[in-house]
Structure 1
Amino acid sequence: MNSIFIPVVIASIVVWGIAFYFRSRFLLHMMQLEGYKNKNFLNWINEFKHRAFYSKLNLTTFLALILIILALVTKNGKLVGVSALSWCAFIMLGIKFKKEKVKKDLVYTERAKRLMTTNIIVNIVLIIIAIIILVLTVENTYFLYLSALLFITVTYYLQPYVLYLSNVIVAPIEKGINQKFFDMAHDKVRSFDKLKIVGITGSYGKTSTKFLTSTILEEKYNVLKTPESYNTPMGVSKVINNDLNKEHEVFVVEMGARNIGDIREMAELAGPKIGIITSIGPTHLETFVNIENIMKTKYELIEELPADGIAIFNYDNKYIKKLADKTFKEKILYGMEDIENLDLYATDIEVSETGSTFKLGDKEGNSIICSTQLLGKHNIANLLAGAAVARALGLTFEEIASGISKVEAVPHRLQLINPGTGVIIIDNAFNSNPISSKAALEVLGQFKEGRKIIITPGMVELGDEEAEANKEFGRNIAKTCDFAILVGKNRTKPIQDGINEMGFSKENLFVVASLDEATKALQSIVRAKDVVLFENDLPDNYNE
């Protein structure tokens, strides 16, 4: 035994290192997708235990532990080598070497590297502490080794919680680094005296409105906008520090929130003079709890505007209407419903499968016909928000109409795609909600030819309202679609209930486990002139 003891120890260390790498890399990816928020990460562990503690891992870890415990209980030194080598074999068998097919891979940002380094250090420190305790309490070298093996097996298995601990430990460092970049951005954006800053928030429609507003404003100004879905303090700080310069005349900032106070922090950073609330509805209810907290948070943007600031409200939204009515700063109300009380509105709306036309009017009696390639009535509301900002910044109706005609569909937001195969694709895969899903089905229903097919995993982050919202979504699918392909057998149960409630043909309903399976199901039914709607595409941390 003595001759092979050291090689066995080395082998077990190597195996632990390999297993730790693959397990911690996957968990770091999930932590990154959860925004490095510990509460969100714990929620992910609880909801997706089958991914954090998958069956193969459970089985092999259990067998490895049993072998070590048997060797310890029987106190048979001859079993040490056999148990240790068997442990190595079981741990290796439990590793997921094959990388999951993901939509957004792990990005080794500086923050990710710091967390991974901290996690390695925490694991090593825990192991060293355990070994010190064992050295003081266990006399037999072989059994000391087996006891250490037992400990590292448990820490390996409980790695999600060790990563959580590591994130707690590194939090003060991250806070200091973030504050440094935040302060730099705060000072830089205020060094441009003539810069016009526009803040956009809402439960949904923020990103689309940002892109549309920027396109319209480019008729007159040099515009910088936050890219993609950059809507956090650190994301906006990065844009300000790296991209903003003296040539920019307008800076359009998207502001997202998951908690009360988030919008206030964003407004304190960017210092907007114009603020837009596009929508308020039941999103992120797992953190906001109720609609009143969402209203309070979105209104933080208006509260942070200077005394001479301009507040822009979507007056068609019943929640925003309440906020607008209590606002005494200069304000612009836009919409399509309560025209006599609006400053800017759309009438004579014609929405087709190729785009939309409408008359843009204001309370002074000015009007102009606008055309856009965008699909859906809700996109006209987003265009009105952009037009309201343009009016506040001095653009004429002619410049606004010209800008609207140049607006292109925002990727993955009711984006019409014709791949030339005879099948039309409507890509609405970005972050579905009750309003956008309903609008997407309305657009799908406007196509005159072909069968209508939807592929969707449903809606998430709606709190207690999620099940009922998805059930209603299912009812609307049954009214509009000829075929439905649902991704996620457990998550889509409320949608299935809604669809079945409407007497939808069971032969035309497919429930699959992944997007790959959904694609195969689609290929088995699709034919020329069909229209396929991709509604929502959940991030990798929601995979079942």
Structure 2
Amino acid sequence: MLINSLYFINSLFFNFCIAFYLISALQWYSYKLKRVFFHYHKPLWHLYFLLCPYLIFLAFPLYSLIYFIILAPILYFWNKSIDKKLIFTNKVKWFFVFVFIYNTLFAILSLRFSFLFNLCTLISALLSLKIYDLFSNLYYKKQAKIKLKSNEKLKIILITASFGKTSIKNFLYELLKDKFKVYKTPRSVNTLIGIVSDINNNLSNETQIYIAEAGARAKGDIDEITCFLEPQICIIGEIGNAHLEYFKSIDNIRQTKLEALNSKRLEKAFLHTSTLKQENEIITLYDDKISNIKSNLEGLEFKVFLEQKKYEFKSQILGEFNTQNLCACILCAYYLGITIETIKNQILKIKSVEHRLQVISKSPKFIIDDGFNGNFKGMSTSYRLCKLYQGRKVLVSPGIIEVSKEENIKLAQIINDCFDLAIITANVNAEIFEKELTIEKIILKEKSELVNILAKETKNGDLILFSNDAPSFM
């Protein structure tokens, strides 16, 4: 009886340790097993927390209990040390319930037949989670669709782009909020399931305009969101090589973003010229309407060609690339009936989106947070902006994530020209920057070292740019 209890407890510790690590990794990578095993940025963690536990359990099916009792607190402190900790959503809670149920079932079978039955627990739990996902998603999608249809006057604006989606969403919200009852998807919620959850939990029945952001990792992702929302207006921003690792080519990215035009209710679309579409009664290309751009560390000045006339706008937002994001919002707001003068006043009041060229302080150190800017064009533009600063310039960045090696090599050349010190915060591009950076550089082994390094290596009067960000699992 004692031996049987030890077998059960050992299998329980084994499966829960593996389950805790695996569901953490799945949550980071949008619950895609393929990405966890073929696009994972910390393969040694798989060795420590997957392969080794399996080998030890197989070799010592009973006596490995001591190992798993030690591994459990290690995993606990590992989770506490990383910046993207496991969030115990309903989905995650159900996964652990499935693990417990199947562990009990297979532990009984293993006593009667073979201890190898214990290895079926995780596979069964993952399959059950998939089935749970399927049915719960169908239910919540149906509820969200009913809620959208019940508001007959609701106008939906869908925004997608390789980069700049969240900025466009936030800028547009600021232009519309005084005239309409507007709601926008929070933070960077941009998947179908995220949008469905947001509609069910947060969208008010009195909302007049719903602004939704759409992201993609594969062909069909935008189409799925478009077919669900059926937006009347869409904004397709600049097409670039963000997530090229998944799409394989710029053309695949472009075709995926253009799926936003598939809406049955589409009335108007504002597109970046990189979409390669032509203007017509529905489509307006917005970035070629901009001229006379002036950009510095105080803000922006630019002109927009509208209704056969050029109008001048001023903004306290930093970054020349933001003139394009603002222009898309200006045209959309004007289409919805906001006057030019009102738009001008609102543009002047709009503050930087959090973590997007956001000035944190100007003294004693000039600190700019651009942590959510993760594309070559935006990053390189912000670097040249920082070059205008008269004092010492320090860059804190992991480089660009999920792009080709060549993109980071080009970025390194610009860093060499614009900064005095570069602090590289992720292992994913460390090898490239070690070779390509000619300025003073510090490659961090662990992101947790950053605070001490900044205190030691920077001084009053320095400009410090936090450019892009990468979670510690990268």
Q: CA deviation at 1:483?
A: 0.3
Offset at residue 44 of structure 1 (A): 4.8
Q: Match of 1:52, as an amino acid?
A: H
Give 1:80's aligned residue.
none
Residue by residue, what CA displacement relative to the aligned partner does 1:371-399 show, whole Å, maximum 9, x if unpaired?
A: 22211011111111111110110111111
Equivalent residue in structure 2 for 1:372, among 315, 327, 345 = 315
**Secondary structure of the corresponding residue to residue 166 of structure 2:** helix
Q: Report if the CA contact (8 A) 2:13-2:68 is conserved.
A: no
Which residue does the alignment assign to 2:45? 51
Query: Which residue is 2:306 aligned to?
Result: 362
1:393 aligns to 2:331 (yes or no): no
- The match for 1:24 is 19
Deviation, 1:104, is 3.0
How far does residue 188 in structure 1 lie from its aligned partner after superposition? 1.9
Alignment of 1:317-328 (within 5 A): 317=274, 320=275, 322=276, 324-325=277-278, 328=280
Secondary structure of the 1:417 match is strand
Among 372, 378, 389, the alignment partner of 1:430 is: 372
**1:310 and 2:268 correspond:** yes
Structure 2 residue aligned with 1:14: 9
1:141-156 to 2 correspondences below 5 Å: 148=115, 155=119
Aligned to 1:99: 78
2:84 is paired with a residue whose SS is coil
SS at match of 2:321: helix
Provide the C-alpha distance between the structure 2 equivalents of 1:132 and 1:223, rounded to a whole number of angstroms.
62
Report the equivalent of 1:459: 400
- For residue 327 of structure 2, the aligned residue among 363, 384, 398 is 384
Distance in 2 (CA, whole Å) between partners of 1:279 and 1:181 is 32
CA contact (8 A) 2:15 2:122 kept: no
Q: What residue number does 1:475 align with?
A: 413
1:88 is aligned to 65
Structure 2 counterpart of 1:346: 290
- CA shift, 1:175, in A, is 1.5
1:527 matched residue in structure 2: 459
Deviations 1:274-318 (A, max 9, x none): 1111111112223222111111111111132536x1110122x3x
Where 1:181 maps in the other structure, the secondary structure is: helix
1:150-187 Cα shifts (integer Å, max 9, x gaps): 775xx4xxxxx964663334323311211221122223
Matched AA of 2:448: D
1:74 corresponds to: none
1:3-53 deviation per Cα after TM superposition (whole angstroms, max 9, x unaligned): xxx4455345435434543442232121111111222222255x5331122
CA contact (8 A) 2:106 2:117 kept: no
Q: In 2 relative to 1, CA 173–93 (structure 1 residues): closer, same or farther, beyond 3 Å?
A: closer
Residue 534 of structure 1 deviates from its aligned partner by 1.3
Q: Deviations over 1:477-496 (max 9, x none)?
A: 11111001112345321233
Change (3 A) 1:306 1:57: closer
1:191-234 deviation digits (Å, cap 9, x = unpaired): 22222211100111001100001101124222111111111112
Equivalences for residues 130-149 of structure 1 within 5 A: 130-134=110-114, 148=115
Residue 230 to residue 87, structure 1, CA distance change in 2 (3 Å): closer
C-alpha root-mean-square deviation of aligned residues, in Å? 2.6
**SS of residue matched to 2:64:** helix
TM-score of the superposition, structure 1-length normalised?
0.80
Runs of at least 5 residues in structure 2 that lack an aligned partner in the other structure: none
CA contact (8 A) 2:18 2:50 kept: no
Q: Deviations over 1:99-145 (max 9, x none)?
A: 332323222111111222223334444444433324xxxxxxxxxxx
CA contact (8 A) 1:474 1:496 kept: no
1:48-103 deviations in whole A, cap 9, x for unaligned?
Answer: 33112218983x876676567xxxxxxxxxxxxxxx5x533333344424233232
What residue is the counterpart of 2:422 in the other structure? Answer: 484
Deviation digits for residues 347-404 of structure 1, max 9, x if unmatched? 332211122122333142152x322221101111111111111011011111111221
Aligned residues: 471
Task: Write the distance in 1 (CA, Å) between the matches of 2:436 and 2:155.
Answer: 47
Decide whether aligned partners of structure 1 residues 126 and 16 sit closer, same or farther in structure 2, where only a CA change above 3 A counts: closer
Equivalent-residue separation in structure 2 for 1:402 and 1:417 (angstroms): 24
Instruction: Indicate whether 1:181 and 2:140 are aligned.
Output: yes
CA–CA distance in structure 2, aligned partners of residues 477 and 249 of structure 1? 45
State the alpha-carbon separation in 2 of the partners of residues 115 and 313 from structure 1. 42
Q: Is the 8 Å Cα contact of residues 371 and 469 (structure 2) preserved in structure 1? A: yes
Cα distance 1:165–1:498, how it changes in 2: closer, same or farther (>3 A)?
farther
SS in 2 for 1:485: strand
Question: In structure 2, how many angstroms separate the alpha carbons of the residues matched to 1:363 and 1:19?
Answer: 68
Contact map agreement 1:441 1:480 (CA 8 A) in 2: yes
Distance of 1:209 and 1:102 partners within structure 2: 30
Contact 1:29 1:106 in 2 (8 A): yes
- 1:416 pairs with one of 343, 354, 359: 359
CA distance in 2, matches of 1:305, 1:497: 51
Residue 245 (structure 2) pairs with residue 286 (structure 1): yes
**Map of 1:404 onto structure 2:** 347
Contact 2:295-2:318 within 8 A present in 1 as well: yes
Q: Given the two structures, how large is their TM-score scaled by the length of structure 2?
A: 0.91
Q: Tell me which amino acid in the other structure corresponds to 1:331.
A: I
| Counterpart in the other structure of 1:75 | none
Secondary structure class of the residue paired with 2:113: helix
Compared CA separation, residues 412 and 490, structure 1 to 2 (3 A): closer
Which residue pairs with 1:241 in the alignment?
200
**Aligned in 2, Cα 1:373/1:305: closer, same or farther, shift over 3 Å?**
farther
- Which structure has the bigger radius of gyration? 1
